[in-house]
Amino acid sequence: MSVRVKICGITSPEQALMAQDAGADLLGLVIYPKSSRYVDVQRAVQIRQVIGPKTQCVVLLVNADEALVHEVIKQVKPDLLQFHGDESPVFCQQFNFPYIRAIRMREGLDIDAEVSAYHAEGGFLFDAWSEGQYGGTGHQFDWSRLPTSTDYPLILAGGLNPDNVAEAVRLVRPDMVDVSGGVESSPGIKDRAKVAAFVRHAKEATVVNK
């Protein structure tokens, strides 16, 4: 099965259409005010309306309150939530809604313990650690720290771009790769050529792996 590609930090309907044309499997909308790729709920609804049935919509949240999560589920109607902050397992699971759990690869992290605590149907997204910054760092972590086999979808993020995604797919063999800044011309603005190249290189590397 080909690796799935998630383009995160989509900020307009036009970017959503462009990413879908390039072959993205999932699109991420960031509802986190401190992000340079932030969209509010109303904007997210507008973007959601142009996401076709073959592409999944993911809303990324960071330490949101319960009311906002419920609003996102009701108004945006995403396919998945992505909890990218310090949310507890109890918090994530109370909504009875499928989600991706982000794991920021800090030193000394017990990956097995972290994974066993959550019931993340959408999988676990492994991202670089940065003090006080929840994703979108553009930094790569040591991929050798990741498990070589899992019973959950493994999503690789952190510093990926069109030039290194093929190597990442070959070495890590993730179920999904996730990119944001690595395909941008400026923060929040996706570059058509970079998005197309990222998707193409990821998919072609999967074929080579088989």
Render each residue's pLDDT in the chain as its tens digit; 210 residues.
689 999 999 999 999 999 999 999 999 999 999 999 999 999 999 999 999 999 999 999 999 999 999 999 999 999 999 999 999 999 999 999 999 999 987 776 788 888 899 999 999 999 875 655 555 555 677 788 888 778 899 999 988 999 999 999 999 999 999 999 999 999 899 999 999 999 999 999 976 554
- Domain containing residue 10: 4-108+116-209
C-alpha dist (Å) from residue 46 to 13, 55, 75, 115, 126: 7, 15, 10, 33, 29
pTM as predicted: 0.92
Dihedral, 125, 126, 130, 131 alpha carbons, nearest 10: 70
Burial class, 69, CB count within 10 angstroms (exposed 0-12 / middle 13-18 / buried 19+): buried
Read off the CATH number of the domain in which 55 is found. 3.20.20.70
Residue 197, C-beta contacts closer than 8 angstroms, at least 6 positions apart:
162
Which pLDDT does position 210 carry in this prediction? 46
Which pLDDT does position 78 carry in this prediction? 98
Q: Is residue 8 flagged as an active site residue?
A: yes
Which pLDDT does position 147 carry in this prediction? 81
Burial class, 131, CB count within 10 angstroms (exposed 0-12 / middle 13-18 / buried 19+): exposed
d(CA 4, CA 27): 11
Q: Is residue 21 flagged as an active site residue?
A: no
Catalytic residue among 25, 57, 92, 127: 127
* Nearest residue to 139 via CA among 123, 109, 161: 161
Domain count, the chain: 1
Q: Is 142:98 a contact under the CB 8 Å cutoff? A: no
Q: Is 117:152 a contact under the CB 8 Å cutoff? A: no
Encode the chain in three state secondary structure.
Answer: CCCEEEEECCCCHHHHHHHHHCCCCEEEEECCCCCCCECCHHHHHHHHCCCCCCCEEEEEECCCCHHHHHHHHHHCCCCEEEECCCCCHHHHHCCCCCEEEEEEECCCCCHHHHHHHCCCCCEEEEEECCCCCCCCCCCCCCHHHCCCCCCCCEEECCCCCCCCHHHHHHHHCCCEEEECHHHEEECCEECHHHHHHHHHHHHHHHHHHC
